[in-house]
Amino acid sequence: MLLQLHALTLTLAWIPTALAQWLQYPPSGTATMTHYTLPDNYIAACGCTADSTHYPTAAMSQAAFGSSIAYGPACGRCFNLTLLNTYTPTPPFFPTVASSVVVKVTDLCPGGGTGLCSATPGHPNSGEQYINFDLAWPSSSISPNFFPSNVSLYGYSDFGVWNVSYEIVSCVDDWAGGHNAAALGSINQTYGVCCPANPNSTDLCPSYSDDSNAQPPDTVTSSAISSFSGFSYTIVTLYLLVRGTLSL
């Protein structure tokens, strides 16, 4: 009896800790933004279709993404991101024209360490923000000149980290791929994929790492022909390789 009670106490004590690792964030605010290389047609952590890569996509930092592997509540969500200013150079760079892009979250930016994706509730990243968006860029869908620069002043064009404003927007109305069925939803695979076309309170992915047995909403797109079996391990490995080459 005593043992059982003890076990119950331990269990109850663990639950809030497990849930507290995910971030509740407002529908609009500021964040950091970086960029990473995502191969064309790659199936990233959420299992969104290959065609999603033909439009602007981003990986979201782990605590905001809501899972440490495969899919989480952020999968499929669309955000309008606007560049505000840079971090690294002195003096900081404030672009004269505000560049914006509407992205769909298709990938996880792993936390841990001191990277910009390592913020947790109560502990912001090194840019003093709780969210990092890692934009898949270069991308056939985004201008190569998307990131403003002033090479004559700084001597280089890629600032690496930006302070941005973000706002949750409608994927259907505002995302460039919002009317292309092949770019919406997930690949046809029986496990480990969840990518709502336009997430809402009911069409929302659970956290795969909290409960891999929870049935996610069926987001399979009949337009997506290929299935994929390597899912998140491949992308996480690739991700870490790419990330390792960046000096953030």
Ligand X SMILES: *[C@@H]1O[C@H](CO)[C@@H](O)[C@H](O)[C@H]1NC(C)=O
Where on the chain is the footprint of ligand X (CB under 6 A)? 30, 80, 82, 84-85, 98, 100, 102, 127-128, 150, 152-153, 163, 169, 174, 188, 198, 200-203, 220, 222
Report how far apart the first and last C-alpha atoms of the chain are (Å, whole number): 53
What minimum distance in Å lies between the beta carbon of 222 and ligand X?
Answer: 4
**Min CB(173)–ligand X separation in Å:** 8
- The residues, ordered by sequence, that sit 6+ positions from 233 with a Cβ below 8 Å of its Cβ are none
**Nearest CB to ligand X, comparing residues 8 and 173:** 173
CB of 68 vs ligand X, minimal distance in Å? 26
Alpha carbon distance 9, 19 (integer Å) = 17
Q: Which residues pair with 162 in a beta bridge?
A: 33, 86
Q: What are phi and psi of 135, to 5 degrees?
A: -75, 130
Closer residue to ligand X (CB): 99 or 212: 99
Of the pair 68, 177, the CB lying nearest ligand X is at 177
Cα separations in angstroms, 188 against 35, 43, 147, 246: 28, 12, 35, 33
Phi and psi at residue 244, in whole multiples of 5°?
-65, -25
Q: Is the peptide bond before 138 cis (omega within 30 degrees of 0)?
A: yes
Q: Please report how close the Cβ of residue 120 comes to ligand X at its closest, in angstroms.
A: 19
Strand-strand pairing, 162-169 and 132-136: unpaired
Nearer to ligand X among residue 230 and residue 244 (C-beta): 230
The answer to whether residues 46 and 186 touch, using CB atoms and an 8 Å cutoff, is yes
Nearby residues of 16 by Cβ (< 8 Å), 6 or more positions away: none
Minimal distance, residue 210 CB to ligand X, in Å: 21
CB of 2 to ligand X, least distance (A): 47
Query: Looking at beta carbons only, is 185 or 236 nearer to ligand X?
Result: 185
